[in-house]
Amino acid sequence: MTVKGMTSKEVTQRVFNKEELFILDVRNESDYKDWKIDGENFKYLNVPYFELLDGVEEVIEKIPTDKEVLVVCAKEGSSVMVAEMLSDAGLNVSYLKGGMKSWSEHLEPVKLGDLNDGGEIFQFVRIGKGCLSYMIVSHGEAALIDATRMTDTYLEFANSIGAKITRVFDTHLHADHISGGRTIAEKTGATYWLPPKDATEVTFDYQPLEDGNDITIGNTVITIHALYSPGHTIGSTSFVVDNKFLLSGDILFIDSIGRPDLAGKAEDWVGDLRETLYKRYRELSEELIVLPAHFMIIDELNNDGSVSENLGTLFAKNHGLNIEDENEFRRLVTENLPPQPNDYQKIRQTNMGKISPDMDEQREMEIGPNRCAVR
User: DSSP readout, 219-235?
Assistant: TSS-EEEEEE--SSSTT
Checking if the pLDDT of 204 tops 50, the result is yes
What's the mean pLDDT in 188-211?
91
Pairing of strands 93-96, 108-114: unpaired
More confident residue, 2 or 180: 180
Task: Identify the weakest region by mean pLDDT among 51-55, 138-142, 158-162, 327-331.
Answer: 327-331
Alpha carbon 129 to its chain centroid, in Å, reads: 5
pLDDT at 273: 85
The fold adopted by the segment(s) 4-103 is Oxidized Rhodanese; domain 1 (3.40.250)
More confident residue, 374 or 282: 282
CA 329 to each of CA 153, 253, 261, 322, 336: distance values in angstroms, whole numbers, following the listed order? 39, 16, 14, 9, 10
CA 343 to each of CA 23, 59, 118, 350: distance values in angstroms, whole numbers, following the listed order? 28, 35, 42, 11
pLDDT at 25: 98
Q: According to CATH, where is 3.40.250.10 located in the chain?
A: 4-103
In this prediction, residue 301 has a pLDDT band, given cuts at 50, 70 and 90, of very high
How far is it, in rounded angstroms, from Cα 295 to Cα 298?
8
| Positive or negative: CA dihedral 195, 199, 204, 208 | positive
pLDDT at 1: 58
pLDDT at 227: 76
User: Catalytic residue numbers?
Assistant: 73
pLDDT tens sequence across 165-177: 999 999 999 888 9
Integer-rounded Cα Rg, in Å, for the chain is 21
What's the mean pLDDT in 235-250?
90
The alpha carbon torsion through 332, 264, 260, 294 (nearest 10 deg) reads: -110
E strand or H helix that includes residue 265: none
Within a 10 A sphere around the Cβ of 203, how many other Cβ atoms? 10
pLDDT at 221: 45
pLDDT at 272: 84
Amino acid at 234: I
Q: Nearest 5 degrees, angle CA 31-CA 37-CA 40? A: 135
Architecture of domain 107-374: 4-Layer Sandwich (3.60)
In this prediction, residue 133 has a pLDDT band, given cuts at 50, 70 and 90, of very high
pLDDT tens sequence across 263-300: 555 567 788 888 889 999 999 999 999 999 999 889 99
Q: How far apart are the first and last CA of the chain?
A: 46
Checking if the pLDDT of 303 tops 50, the result is yes
User: Does residue 139 come out as left (phi exceeding 0), alpha (psi in the -120 to 50 range) or beta?
Assistant: left
Task: Please enumerate in sequence order all residues whose Cβ is within 8 A of that of 305, keeping only pairs 6 or more positions apart, or say none.
Answer: 12, 15, 16, 108, 110, 125, 127
In this prediction, residue 93 has a pLDDT band, given cuts at 50, 70 and 90, of very high
Mean pLDDT, rounded, of the chain: 89
Checking if the pLDDT of 222 tops 90, the result is no
Q: According to CATH, where is 3.60.15.10 located in the chain?
A: 107-374
Helix 359-366, helix 344-352: angle, nearest 10: 130
In this prediction the pTM is 0.93
Classify residue 172 as exposed, middle or buried by CB count within 10 Å of its CB (0-12, 13-18, 19+). Answer: buried
Task: Identify the weakest region by mean pLDDT among 78-82, 91-95, 308-312, 362-366.
Answer: 362-366
pLDDT at 363: 87
What's the mean pLDDT in 10-27?
96
User: What is the Cβ-side half-sphere exposure of residue 72, based on CA atoms within 13 angstroms?
Assistant: 27
Alpha carbon 194 to its chain centroid, in Å, reads: 19
pLDDT at 265: 57
pLDDT tens sequence across 311-361: 999 999 999 999 999 889 888 877 766 666 667 889 899 999 999 999 988
CA 190 to each of CA 26, 156, 169: distance values in angstroms, whole numbers, following the listed order? 43, 15, 10
pLDDT at 43: 96
